[in-house]
Amino acid sequence: MKRIKHTILFPAAQRRISLQFSAGGCRLQRDMAIWGLFPLTPYETFVLVALVVLATLWRLRGSGRPSLNLPPGPPPLPLVGNLHLINIKRQDKSFMKLSEKYGPVFMVHLGFQKAVVVTGYQAVREALLSNADEFLDRPPIPIFTEIQHGHGVFFSSGELWKSTRRFTMSSLRDLGMGKKLIEGRIVEELHYLIELVKSFKGEPFKLRSFNTAPTNITFAMLFGDRFEYADPTFVTLLRLIDEVMILLGSPFLHLFNFYPFLGFFLRPHKMIVRKVEEVCVILRKHIQVCKETINANCLRSYTDALLFRQKEEENRGTSTFDDANVVASVLDLVMAGTETTATTLQWAVLLLTKHPEIQRKVQEEIESVLESGRLPTSEDRKHLPFSNAVIHEVQRFVTLLPHMPRCTAVDTHFRGYFIPKGTTVIPSLTSVLLDKTQWETPDQFNPNHFLDADGNFVKKEAFLPFSTGRRNCLGESLAKMELFLFFVGLFQRFSFRPPPGSTESDVDTVAVPGFTMRPRAQKICAVPCE
């Protein structure tokens, strides 16, 4: 289908607004000489509304064509699509509700965008494993397009993604991810974390204090060195990551992703881009240090490996790892690598504060295995089945990352439905981790989900917090090792309790949506174990 473009010129304000229509949807563009100095006049407001209505009519015109057996779903309304049926803050729960009526594979209209939602363990597993090549790409999510421009490990597609991910996986393995080499760094960082918790002397402290250790592990992997917790740059980095992750959960940010042409009216995406750029300023300084100190015979960090590959490509005349992709790849690992593990550790401490009987059982088991007071190693996991089960149940219960959209790389037939190339596909990880056919008490925090009748740890196929298939979390093995060592080390040394004047029932375990499902900001106390 050819594209049609309508352009309206506002000479008084020296600006132009154009709306472009195609089979894929509509896009609003504006060019301006003095944008922002002139508020919209009534005439301009009328024109803008008219353009949006025109876009809706264009979309509805296409909806009357043969569906080619597209997945079922609720009929869309003009302008909003199915957004009136969806809780913007908890889209995952709304998708689960809709699946009760429309089945495990259904279509929703998020504003002007069509998306296919896949729910339940069986359907999600089939999509991400059996149909891995078809559901391989990422859709152009507006906020991440503005930040990464198609570069990096997580939000790229096609050959760029394949090359970047393959290189990243290889480099992280060489650096010891999930092996003894990195285990030493984690245990060293555990010492610093224990000292930090001790420094509060039993007084209430912020739950976010646990972000320090996982962030340092990520930074050490990326640049070869850790930060002191009081380092101003480290404090700034932690603050910026936290602010960005909160803003990514803003309803207005979701509105921008659904209607990117309204971006000039909205603020959160602009704030996110500005704060991410502040993070990139810090990262570029460290990348420059790596450039000046790199030793080709001893690559000690992921950034060293990136820069070495970049130099090789320059000699060959290729450009996969240009400066933009280097910064974007490092940024991806900083933001995602710190947020997921750090937030899970916060949840673990908070949930065991809420459930003191489970905390006591964890500590009794740890004491029976680590009786000499030594710090844990990864080898202790098989001797600590209950602690291991609790860690897994924390990840299952909190459904940390509800979903990460995919995109069909080709025209696809899935479970009898036709899904055109380029369609957004949302595999709901929440629906897997709360699947009633896979978990006895899906809505309860219950470590017995991962234990047999004899108290032995049991792996569950439906445990997919890291997703699965070709786009699963590339830091999964590192995250598992960090969580186990930090969790056991902390509960070996401390008992966590609510602040004075409050009880376990006052501990708030209702998630706050951000990029991940985060615990609400609150304080706890840590009392040294006797």
User: Is the pLDDT assigned to residue 340 strictly greater than 80?
Assistant: yes
Q: Give residue 108's Cα distance to chain centre.
A: 22
Q: Which CATH number fits domain 158-399+434-528: 3.10.129.10, 2.60.34.10, 1.10.630.10, 2.40.50.140?
A: 1.10.630.10
13 token code pair: 């304000």
Contacts of 180 (CB under 8 A, 6+ apart): none
Q: Which of 126, 107, 125, 109 is nearest to 117 (CA)?
A: 107
- Kindly state the percentage of the chain with pLDDT values over 70: 87
Phi, then psi, of 13 in degrees rounded to 5 = -95, 0
- The lowest-confidence range among 13-17, 135-139, 395-399, 488-492 is 13-17
The answer to whether 426 and 116 have CB atoms below 8 angstroms apart is yes
The residue with greater pLDDT, 296 or 203, is 203
Does residue 57 carry a pLDDT above 80? no
Contact 440, 402 (CB under 8 A): no
Of 246, 257, 270, give the one whose Cα is nearest residue 83. 257
- Segments of 406-449 assigned E as strands: 406-407, 412-414, 417-419, 424-427
In this prediction, residue 63 has a pLDDT band, given cuts at 50, 70 and 90, of very low
- Compute the distance between CA of residue 163 and CA of residue 142 in angstroms, rounded to an integer: 23
Statement: residue 25 has pLDDT above 80? no
pLDDT at 31: 40
- Interval 152-199: pLDDT, tens: 999 898 899 999 999 999 998 888 765 777 899 999 999 999 999 999
Average pLDDT score over residue span 468-490: 93
Distance, in Å, from the CA atom of 441 to the CA atom of 260, rounded to the nearest integer, reads 40
Average of pLDDT values for 443-448? Answer: 97
Inter-helix orientation angle 323-354/385-398, to 10°: 110
Q: What's the rounded mean pLDDT across residues 436-464?
A: 96
How many angstroms separate the CA atoms of 433 and 449, rounded? 11
Task: Specify the fold of 75-140+400-433.
Answer: 3.30.43
What whole-number distance in Å separates Cα of residue 432 and Cα of residue 211? 27
pLDDT, position 337: 80
- The per-residue pLDDT of the chain, averaged, comes to 87
Residue 130 CB contacts under 8 Å (≥ 6 apart), including other chains:
none
Which class for 89: exposed (0-12), middle (13-18), buried (19 or more C-beta within 10 A)?
A: middle
Residue 346: pLDDT above 60? yes
Contact 430, 443 (CB under 8 A): no
For the cut 80, the answer to whether the pLDDT of residue 424 exceeds it is yes
**pLDDT above 90 (res 212):** yes
Per-residue pLDDT band for 264 (boundaries 50, 70, 90) equals confident
Span 284-331, pLDDT tens digits: 999 999 999 988 888 889 999 999 999 998 888 887 889 999 999 999
Q: Helix, strand or coil for residue 107?
A: strand
Sheet containing strand 424-427, edge to edge, reads 105-110, 113-118, 424-427, 406-407
| Short-list 256, 171, 182, 260, CA closest to 226 | 182
pLDDT value for 41: 58
> What does the pLDDT average to over 196-224?
95
Whether 52 has a pLDDT exceeding 60, the answer reads no
| Cβ neighbours around 525 below 10 Å, total | 19
Label residue 42 exposed, middle or buried (CB < 10 Å: 0-12, 13-18, 19+).
exposed
Q: Cα–Cα distance between 71 and 322 in angstroms, integer?
A: 40
pLDDT digits (tens, 9 = 90+) for 84-141: 999 999 999 999 999 999 999 999 999 999 999 999 999 999 999 999 999 999 999 9
Residue spans of the domains in the chain: they are 1-65, 75-140+400-433, 158-399+434-528
Q: pLDDT-based confidence at 262, cuts 50/70/90?
A: confident
Q: How far apart are CA 401 and CA 397, in angstroms?
A: 11
- Phi then psi dihedrals of residue 342, to 5 deg: -65, -40
| pLDDT over 60 (residue 237) | yes
